[in-house]
Structure 1
């Protein structure tokens, strides 16, 4: 909450209120004294030091790579081990002197060198049959480094390695869900919660996407469109984020708000994909659209329930509309097979209404990323409807015109019903 942008806005507001006589100078001074000190930022010297360190590391790696075949196996391993020790030692020294950014960078470099060490051992002793297992080992080591050092960079390395690991496992065994990644993701989410770090929350939210993408493209989903499976994942991420943010804990609020932002953006992307991939613009499946996997449907239903539960706790109308947006995107999926003989007008209407609900939800709750996601979703859905291959373009234009008129009537009704202060 007490980040630099917030403090700048607060300082400007305090100066304005003091100038207008709203608060006394003593009250403004008391507010400023009550605020905790800002964490030191990244100055020019730190940036130059980071660039210099990266150049030295790149030069070292280039030198080793140029003489790689001439270096004995034991010496290769010793070089990488020494690199981890040096990175850890420098990180500890930077941390003791209060240079947290450089300490985080050193921990990240150490985690990367650890992965290189795993690859080297596998190459030297011909252990390359299980690349996914190597990625799991790398991810585990990076997670341990993140726990020991509090490094956001090491957490990023661990999540990246875990994402590659799960994609490999899904490719190797498409007939089974790779639930082990879910356990690893929950561990990373617990770390982000314990750190109360927005950067870590962003990393965790991004890491949830590769698993859903890889799972939606599994070969055993007979004829089902990946966008339908992704819709359930976006629903779960959005609803769970809202529910977590409804908790009284500031840590939960920070983590949940970030998860809900990525959930809203994912929902908008999925709405665009449903139109473009199902309606013959881009065809990802040649078989007829099949029923969605039951586990995916349960995830989507859970997302709607969690969003409604959050709305019940926070008493925010915007979150009710967010739950409606989630439900409408999910409802659009089974409408497409029912409209196989003609245009899926009801599916189009459901997606447009879903994105409109998302925009209004963000406006009512004053959540700008949700507003942006809704507008992007509206633009994507309209573009998909307009440029779809099958069907009459004249009918599509009539449908869009009717939808626009309904939206104008709805806006007029809202303008009359809402109090002037809330318009």
Structure 2
């Protein structure tokens, strides 16, 4: 698939060939695209981040392997030296126009900080559990992200919070309470992401909240969580489509809020369907939820599919999931399954014919105006 910059360059060439812009304007637009493309996350930046993670892991494993032979004071000094060198060295390199390497060193320092918590806690037999260590690690990384205004460190903080949620949510720490603290953590990190200009962190936080609601539904009443999630996601989708500019100015997701809203909508309906599927294959509630899901998928493609390839792929995946779950739940009666699919196919076919006719009528005046 062609990248955004490649598509823009091809459009510029087409506009120039059609006489819409002159050569000077085309060259200026092409230079602007190339400049912004170089500023984006490049393959070299990704390799630098991967190298930083491997380097940090190698240092920590080396220290842990020789833990008993290194004097106690030297252990603590070595760990703090790695953290200090990573943060200070990264800041110096970033001010000298080596942003990728500087951010990579900050990731090394954050990884060293997490390892230091575990190793020092083990060395001094400090009280506490793994959950407290993860919270301390995440808080320290978030503070570093704020101080350095670092997007990668913000993403790392969200990743640590997600690790805490997964381990806590699946009861790995043998605790009985549900991890409600994650809501506070997500809100704080979401606010931090605006300061650090980390759009990637905001995307990850929204997906993490959806996962949190899934865990919350499993631990509590499913329908009381799933139905509000469906309704809220539908409202967010409508707002993001019909008031895209003011909404995106608030959330700053690069116009991808409809994609997240569709994921939340389909996730909520999937939870409803799983809850109702076990009751009866003939339960009208399951059929209603399935019909709402299919209608929502069609509406999402109609309203936002043209502008977002990711939204279309999510809608296609949701459609395939709906076909699979309807077949599995209604397997006891093949006639009912066939009848449902037939009715859905007829309705979608009629809807497709109506949409095609409307699109032809809308495009006809544009073609006449262009010909004039």
Q: Do these two structures clear the TM 0.5 threshold for a shared fold by scoring above it?
A: yes
CA distance in structure 1 between the aligned counterparts of 2:80 and 2:183, rounded to whole angstroms: 31
Aligned to 1:414: 355
Aligned to 1:387: 328
1:225 to partner: Cα distance: 3.5
Q: TM-score, normalised by structure 2?
A: 0.80
Aligned to 1:191: 192
1:97 to partner: Cα distance: 1.8
SS in structure 1 at match of 2:329? coil
Tell me the C-alpha RMSD between the 2 structures.
3.5
> Which stretches in structure 2 are left out of the alignment for 5+ residues?
365-372
SS in structure 2 at match of 1:124? helix
Aligned length: 356
Could you tell which deviates more after superposition, 132-141 or 190-199? Answer: 190-199
1:92 to partner: Cα distance: 1.7
- Higher relative contact order (Cα pairs below 8 Å, separated by 6+ residues): 1
CA distance in structure 2 between the aligned counterparts of 1:411 and 1:343, rounded to whole angstroms: 26
Aligned to 1:181: 182
Encode CA deviations 1:298-339: one digit per residue, 9 max, x unaligned: xxxxxxxxxxxxxxxxxxxxxxxxxxxxxxxxxxxxxx8xx8
1:22 to partner: Cα distance: 2.3
Aligned to 2:77: 78
Aligned to 1:372: 313
Encode CA deviations 1:253-302: one digit per residue, 9 max, x unaligned: 6327334322312433444454356424xxxxxxx7xxxxxxxxxxxxxx
Cα separation, partners in 2 of 1:242 and 1:184, compared to 1, 3 Å: farther
1:194, 1:251 within 8 Å by CA — same for their partners in 2?
Answer: no
Cα separation, partners in 2 of 1:6 and 1:209, compared to 1, 3 Å: same
Of 401, 405, 422 in structure 1, the residue corresponding to residue 346 of structure 2 is 405
1:112, 1:157 within 8 Å by CA — same for their partners in 2?
Answer: no
1:361, 1:371 within 8 Å by CA — same for their partners in 2?
Answer: no
1:150-161 map, 5 Å: 150-161=149-160
CA distance in structure 2 between the aligned counterparts of 1:377 and 1:99, rounded to whole angstroms: 42
Of 222, 226, 231 in structure 2, the residue corresponding to residue 225 of structure 1 is 222
CA distance in structure 1 between the aligned counterparts of 2:45 and 2:359, rounded to whole angstroms: 51
**Which structure has more helix as a fraction of its residues?**
2
SS in structure 2 at match of 1:21? coil
CA distance in structure 1 between the aligned counterparts of 2:145 and 2:52, rounded to whole angstroms: 20
SS in structure 2 at match of 1:22? coil
Q: TM-score, normalised by structure 1?
A: 0.71
CA distance in structure 2 between the aligned counterparts of 1:246 and 1:214, rounded to whole angstroms: 30
1:112 to partner: Cα distance: 1.6
Cα separation, partners in 2 of 1:147 and 1:232, compared to 1, 3 Å: same
CA distance in structure 2 between the aligned counterparts of 1:114 and 1:65, rounded to whole angstroms: 14
Aligned to 1:149: 148
Aligned to 1:321: none
1:55 to partner: Cα distance: 5.2
> Which stretches in structure 1 are left out of the alignment for 5+ residues?
281-287, 289-335
